[in-house]
Structure 1
């Protein structure tokens, strides 16, 4: 149902990684609140289907968030057609799993480039608009930003990086009345998470977490919480709420994870060999298939 009194009504909102999963759900939540939504993603036909299903004004742009020149062109087109954005959600992200020593260096690098560099390119592209509108930038982070896990080194490194980036950016732009929020989310019911369960290494990783930590949350519920936080310009949002409790004890988490891994990983490896997964989910495969040459 439309939300008639939302402060986002009539504003322009940008969502990266909007072709599926959390990005598509965020685009819908923004649209029902009356925002004009710019959807960015790599899967052009899938992106168009998401845009066509949204109420109100929604337009789509195929874009690689790591490509500075393409993102600059997209930013100019959004500005001309929808107006300067008041909300930017840096959601685009990919993941891969498996032992670091056996990982494909190109795939490992791509996870960091999409998740971290892509977020920085997104922020750089739209910060002039956010300065003009006194807008809000939301960085999608993760439980992995707080506590790293084995077999997910690239993803954890990139999500720790985006958290640190967002904190630094918030301090830089606060005097210009731009809000910067960080979304800490746990397992969310997306194609990427469903794909993870096909691999023993990642299935076991989640299965050995405490019961609350391994629960998978509906994507629409997560998106609703995040957009509500954007409306209130909150500096942080935790889904589920108990994730906030991990912040005060985060210094102790590496030792706990190491202790559990020392005990569990040899046992699990004796049952099934751990192998690299490659990029996960159809969204990850779209990034892999659409990779541009490094010198483009």
Structure 2
């Protein structure tokens, strides 16, 4: 029996990853903040699934959940650190609490998830899969908190891989571009952010279908790959990475003229985006 833990499993990427793993006969433990949604996903994952309501930034609660998952299933083989939130807008006018929450959930929450579940992964010689983003490869304006957090989780995962390899534990990083999830749809409700993304050069500004993206991620995860890409073109960015900051800055000077004033005139929305962001804010 193989057991996988998926954080942020109530909707979107985490939900579909859990379902895809369950269809392969893997028992899934679903973690998130929305008990009704988690119960629905668990039911759709089959009788072997179970769920726990927990905030990934709460170390004490995560430790309890990790022990309960291990007791319930007897083992843990895979942990998918997927929980994440986002906000947009200029740094100068950002809400400090919201900006910090993005870092707390995406980066510190991933570290807390690893800390809680690593003892079980060491025992099973399992695999920790960190969901990063295109934002880890390309840092863009109006998304500083999200880009910083995803760059951070990428670096965190690389460090963790080196630490735990001696124990037989694998660590992978999943990269994906804009994908059709509640988070991306929520960001697109901000007309200024949507227009900014529309000006990104192809294929960076396109929204990709969720299912083929998840299929790619799950396939790489099951092979315990160190890097997994949700879209075919993302590996090329690793080669061009040293040039990216200069190119983005040069393009931004022209493309973003007036965007800051438009964003403020539209209401300067600093909330966490999407239904998942709303649930995190309520928490």
**TM-score normalised by the chain length of structure 2:** 0.96
Q: How big is each residue's C-alpha offset from its partner over 1:182-206, in whole Å with a ceiling of 9 and x where there is no partner? A: 0011011101111111112310221
Note the residue ranges of structure 2 that are not aligned, 5 or more in a row.
Answer: none
SS at structure 2 position matched to 1:187 = coil
Residue 238 in structure 1 maps to residue 229 in structure 2? yes
1:168 shift after superposition: 0.2
SS at structure 1 position matched to 2:239 = coil
Counterpart in the other structure of 1:279: 272
1:126 shift after superposition: 0.5
Residue 78 in structure 1 maps to residue 79 in structure 2? no
1:226 shift after superposition: 1.1
Residue 221 of structure 2 contacts residue 228 of structure 2 at CA under 8 Å; is this kept in 1?
no
1:55 shift after superposition: 2.7
Residue 58 in structure 1 maps to residue 49 in structure 2? yes
Counterpart in the other structure of 1:118: 109
1:277 shift after superposition: 3.3
Change (3 A) 1:12 1:151: same
Counterpart in the other structure of 1:199: 190
1:213 shift after superposition: 1.3
1:25 shift after superposition: 0.3
Residue 220 in structure 1 maps to residue 200 in structure 2? no
Counterpart in the other structure of 1:87: 78
SS at structure 1 position matched to 2:248 = helix
Count of aligned pairs between the two proteins = 281
Counterpart in the other structure of 1:36: 27
Note the residue ranges of structure 1 that are not aligned, 5 or more in a row.
Answer: 1-9, 291-296
1:149 shift after superposition: 0.6
1:135 shift after superposition: 0.5
Counterpart in the other structure of 2:241: 250
1:216 shift after superposition: 1.5
